[in-house]
């Protein structure tokens, strides 16, 4: 049965940028209230504040928290707060759109010069350069994949995920492709897709649907941090039968459409939201 | 002279903030313990520390200043410099 999103509550992890931001806007446009979590220094914090104000202008509630989504303390503090905010309604939609990982090769290239190094955020690694360390690998997997499981556990325990609720995790085609310096993030996306399948099966008896969304190549701040990303653009544009790249708004709209039903029959999938980019030639 | 001068930097409060972020006891966060080498700081924790410092002390930390997030002494020096000295 189709059910309107008006007056529903959604939780967006990674609300301040890219897909999370566009999804918050799309949900608010349907009259849905948004709780957002993000981790940003001053400029990003201001931008997030402006986004929250913009959502409120649409007549919905918007509560943003500048906290680390991967920290247990964040869940301990905010899950009770989310329960307070949503009251009897619980959460209709949970979106995991968290980009924070180490973009480093696993082994040095044959020539030591021109080693591509970067992190997804603007924050340089404390001991940057070279090849990925165990700590960087664990951090990337924890924040970009495992945090989905821990949030789901705690939200469920708090009674916030009821029949009809939808959980979405943002993955990428890079989960099964090899992209320079993307190894840890690729592993995180593979783990994320695996977690989605496991959660979908474990939550099916409760009527909660869990899916991964796989957007096509989208120009977001996180994408721009991938070494060599500028060279992807033209190739992906040429391959996309729509002759344009994916926009964050495409993802927001997909989430709204998929969340319009109280059915949990669409679950456990990796759903392409790419205009056919991956099957284009 | 900055408008933040009235906010003094309490080293013990700072130690507690760092210990909380790193999920360590305050005793482990000695003044010169190396965050990366001894306390398992990663870049996400570094960002979380900066976000908390910005909120608590009403400052802005530039990307290049993340290099100061190496020890409690490093943060203390960064803060006192930003807040106009002690």
The tens digit of pLDDT for each residue in A107-145 reads: 998 865 555 555 544 344 434 459 999 999 999 999 999
**Between chains, do A122 and B63 touch, taking CB under 8 Å as contact?**
yes
Q: Where are the domains of chain B?
A: 11-82
Q: How many domains does chain A have?
A: 1
Q: What is the ipTM of this complex?
A: 0.87
The range of the structural domain enclosing residue A45 comes to 9-101+140-220+247-273
Q: Report yes or no on A120 lying in a domain.
A: no
Instruction: Look at residue A128 in the predicted model and tell me its pLDDT.
Output: 47
Distance from CA of B86 to the nearest CA of A (A): 24
Question: Which residues of chain A are modeled with pLDDT < 50?
Answer: 120-128
Nearest-by-CA chain B residue for A143 = B44
Q: Report yes or no on A230 lying in a domain.
A: no
Instruction: Look at residue A123 in the predicted model and tell me its pLDDT.
Output: 41
Cα-Cα-Cα-Cα dihedral sign, residues A153, A125, A136, A271: positive
CATH 3.30.1360.120 fits B11-82, yes or no: no
Q: Report yes or no on A118 lying in a domain.
A: no
Instruction: Look at residue A234 in the predicted model and tell me its pLDDT.
Output: 85
What tokens appear for A14 in the block?
């990674």
Contact predicate A188/A141, CB 8 Å: yes
Distance from CA of A277 to the nearest CA of B (A): 32
pLDDT over 70 at B2, yes or no: no
Q: Is B33 on the interface with A (CB under 8 A)?
A: no
Instruction: Look at residue B53 in the predicted model and tell me its pLDDT.
Output: 95
Q: Report yes or no on A235 lying in a domain.
A: no
Smallest Cβ–Cβ distance between B41 and the set A121, A122, A126 belongs to A126
Residue A140 has φ and ψ, to the nearest 5°, of: -60, -45
pLDDT over 70 at B1, yes or no: no
Q: Report yes or no on A89 lying in a domain.
A: yes
Nearest-by-CA chain A residue for B48 = A68
pLDDT over 50 at B73, yes or no: yes
Instruction: Look at residue A118 in the predicted model and tell me its pLDDT.
Output: 54
Instruction: Look at residue A113 in the predicted model and tell me its pLDDT.
Output: 56
**Between chains, do A68 and B43 touch, taking CB under 8 Å as contact?**
no
Instruction: Look at residue A230 in the predicted model and tell me its pLDDT.
Output: 82
Q: What is the 3-state secondary structure (H, E, C) of chain B?
A: CCCCCCCCCCHHHHHHHHHHHHCCCHHHCCCCCCHHHHHCCCHHHHHHHHHHHHHHHCCCCCHHHHHHCCCHHHHHHHHHHHCCCC
Q: Report yes or no on A20 lying in a domain.
A: yes
Smallest Cβ–Cβ distance between A68 and the set B44, B67, B70 belongs to B44
Instruction: Look at residue A232 in the predicted model and tell me its pLDDT.
Output: 79
């Amino acid at each position: 049965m189709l059910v309107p999103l008006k007056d529903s509550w959604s939780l967006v992890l990674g609300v301040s940028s890219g897909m999370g931001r566009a999804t918050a806007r799309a949900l608010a446009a349907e009259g849905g209230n948004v709780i957002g979590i993000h981790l940003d220094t001053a400029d990003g914090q201001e931008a997030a504040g402006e986004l929250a104000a913009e959502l409120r202008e649409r007549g919905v509630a918007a509560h943003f928290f500048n906290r680390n989504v991967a920290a247990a303390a964040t869940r301990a503090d905010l899950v009770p707060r989310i329960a307070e905010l949503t009251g009897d309604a619980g959460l209709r939609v949970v979106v995991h759109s968290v980009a924070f990982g180490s973009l480093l090769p696993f082994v040095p290239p044959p020539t030591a010069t021109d080693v591509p190094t970067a992190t997804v955020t603007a924050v340089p690694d404390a001991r940057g350069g070279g090849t990925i360390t165990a700590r960087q690998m664990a951090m990337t997997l924890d924040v970009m994949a495992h945090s989905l499981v821990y949030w789901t556990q705690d939200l469920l325990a708090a009674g916030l995920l009821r029949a009809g609720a939808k959980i979405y995790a943002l993955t990428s085609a890079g989960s099964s492709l090899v992209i320079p310096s993307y190894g840890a993030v690729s592993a995180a996306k593979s783990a994320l897709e695996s977690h989605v399948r496991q959660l979908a099966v474990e939550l099916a008896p409760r009527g909660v649907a869990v899916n991964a969304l796989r957007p096509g190549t989208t120009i977001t701040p996180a994408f721009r941090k991938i070494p060599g990303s500028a060279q992807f653009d033209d190739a992906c544009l040429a391959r996309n039968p729509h002759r344009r790249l994916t926009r964050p708004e495409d993802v927001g709209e997909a989430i709204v459409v998929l969340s319009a039903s109280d059915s949990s029959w669409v679950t456990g999938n990796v759903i392409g939201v790419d205009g056919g980019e991956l099957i284009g030639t | 002279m900055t408008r933040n001068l009235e906010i003094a930097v309490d080293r013990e409060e700072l130690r507690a903030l760092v210990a909380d972020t790193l999920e360590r006891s305050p005793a482990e966060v000695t003044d010169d313990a190396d965050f990366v080498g001894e306390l398992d700081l990663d870049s996400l924790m570094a960002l979380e520390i900066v976000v908390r410092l910005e909120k608590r002390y009403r400052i802005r930390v530039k990307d290049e200043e993340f290099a100061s997030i190496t020890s409690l002494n490093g943060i203390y020096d960064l803060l006192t410099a930003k807040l106009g000295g002690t």
